[in-house]
Amino acid sequence: MIIKEDLYKEIIQALPVLCVDLLIKNSDGKYLLHLRDNEPLKNEWWVPGGRVYKEEKIQSAASRKCKEELGLVITNWKIVGIYEDTYDKNSFNTPTIFHGVSIVLTAPKDVDENQIILDEQSSKWAYRKKLPQRFLSNFIKLK
């Protein structure tokens, strides 16, 4: 479901946006991050993820975003926490603060790195030992 640009501009002016953020680790315990090519967080290494659509289950949104952004099929996600943040920039470069609330999920298995195919939202991917500090500062882990 694609949200029309004018409607999405109205939504981000009025409401927080519900998203999923995906924590994918390799066998060395490093996190899969991608270099973002769009706002918010343009030119920063970040976890894959994005918006949840109306009537879409969280697990389904995680699988969809993983397929869209990384070309990977993963279906057995586990919810591990919440990430909430506000950003001075948004994807439209309008003077609206973007407020995102993400359900954070993890994949319980390694992925085949040879199958990673990035979409147009990022230009590189890498495994990193640590998650971005901004992510860690705004992440609430479930007990």
CATH number of 5-141: 3.90.79.10
pLDDT of the residue at 134: 97
pTM: 0.92
Cα–Cα distance measured from residue 65 to residue 48, given in angstroms and rounded to the nearest whole number: 7
The answer to whether the peptide bond before residue 40 is cis (omega within 30 degrees of 0) is yes
pLDDT of the residue at 1: 64
Reduce the DSSP state of residue 60 to 3 states and report it: helix
Q: Positive or negative CA dihedral for 65, 68, 70, 75?
A: positive
Cα–Cα distance measured from residue 133 to residue 112, given in angstroms and rounded to the nearest whole number: 26
With a cut of 70, which residues of the chain have pLDDT below it?
1
The domain limits of the chain are 5-141
Q: pLDDT digit string (tens) for 67-86?
A: 999 999 999 999 999 999 99
